[in-house]
Amino acid sequence: SPSDPELVARARAAKEKLGDKVFVLGHHYQRDEVIQFADVTGDSFKLARDAAARPEAEYIVFCGVHFMAESADILTSDDQKVVLPDLAAGCSMADMATAEQVAECWDVLTEAGIAEQVVPVSYMNSSADIKAFTGKHGGTICTSSNARKALEWAFEQGEKVLFLPDQHLGRNTAVRDMGMSLEDCVLYNPHKPNGGLTAEQLRDAKMILWRGHCSVHGRFSLESVEDVRARIPGVNVLVHPECKHEVVAAADYVGSTEYIIKALEAAPAGSKWAIGTELNLVRRLANRFAPEGKEIVFLDKTVCFCSTMNRIDLPHLVWTLESLAEGNLVNRIEVDKETEAFAKLALERMLALP
């Protein structure tokens, strides 16, 4: 059960025993029962930075998903061990771009004669292989909190961007934040020959968007925005940029999980908010801000938890911490050296963005 007192006591005891040897990072989508043990919480950008700023911790326990733990391993020193409490905590979006597919895409761009003009920008939500591809081809990583800066940087390096794997973040940033048009973007479908595009379409495009999406955020619809506006007059609609373009275009505010929290902290008492992001976070914020008279509702009741984020539960955390406290290194996430070198290049370009 969520806060089984016996498990809470065991997690506390194991963490105490480990002391400074362990540092626990928690993404905002984690369950309450897990987030209570996080030394820091954050969006994926903040957690990447925080992981890199803990050289004294032997173990980094990452309560989040696989690509976040990989990034932490890439950014920390070799003798630090990054641990993911459940190895099945992946991300369906990250799985939508494999190394083979992306290599094939690069061949298509080369054949169309445009590869030299293209700078890859990969969303943090991608495997270490994709990050390495990005580093190798002169590109950068971005998160939802710095996608605009990353794209601006990329367009200083080249004329076109290959954005992967989240088509929505790519399109929303290009069109909503940077004033490009929908016609500047084409969709590359890795399951079709040549991505389903002609060489001419590729040559005309500024943004080549990979056909990937988040299965959680992809479910918010324009209808859910219209419904909540009709139901709650004066409501502020605040959504994550992984939502579809039509949802983002109809929203009042758009930003990363950290942005969403800051916006609600700054909101006046009596204001009303409909939030389009993962349910653990929205529930926690609704409970946290209710006493201040801020009404917070979930944008669409048919959308639910991120099932892979939710795999990290209190029993997995207890098992992880107790194993480490007994000297058993479990569930280590370790990126091989060659991949790490190129992936690090791409991640460091992101960390150096203005």
The residue ranges that bind ligand SF4 (CB under 6 A) are: 65, 91-93, 125, 214-217, 242, 278, 306, 308-309
Closest to ligand SF4 by CB, 74 or 205: 74
Whether the Cβ atoms of residue 55 and residue 29 lie closer than 8 Å to each other: no
Minimum CB separation from ligand 13P for residue 304, in Å? Answer: 13
Question: 98 among the known binding-site residues?
Answer: no
Please give the sequence-ordered ranges of beta strands (E in DSSP) within the chain, or none if there are none: 22-27, 40-42, 59-63, 81-83, 118-123, 140-142, 160-164, 185-188, 207-210, 236-239, 253-254, 272-276, 295-298
Which tokens hold the place of 96?
């939508």
Give φ, ψ of 238 to 5 degrees.
-125, 115
Q: Which does 215 bind (CB under 5 to 8 A by kind): ligand 13P, ligand SF4, none?
A: ligand SF4
Closest CA to 63 of 22, 21, 14, 16: 22
Closest to ligand SF4 by CB, 65 or 205: 65
Question: In whole angstroms, what is the distance from residue 180 CA to residue 306 CA?
Answer: 31
Q: What residues between 41 and 100 interact with ligand 13P by CB under 6 A?
A: 43-45
Closest to ligand 13P by CB, 303 or 318: 303
Judged by CB under 6 A, the residue of 242, 300, 322, 340 near ligand 13P is: 242
Q: Which does 92 bind (CB under 5 to 8 A by kind): ligand 13P, ligand SF4, none?
A: ligand SF4
Whether the Cβ atoms of residue 181 and residue 94 lie closer than 8 Å to each other: no
Half-sphere exposure of 73 (CA within 13 A, CB side): 24
Question: 306 among the known binding-site residues?
Answer: yes
Judged by CB under 6 A, the residue of 51, 208, 214, 225 near ligand 13P is: 214
The binding site for iminosuccinate comprises 27, 44, 123-125, 144, 240-242, 257
Q: Which residues bind ligand 13P (CB under 6 A)?
A: 28, 43-45, 125, 143-144, 214, 242, 256-257
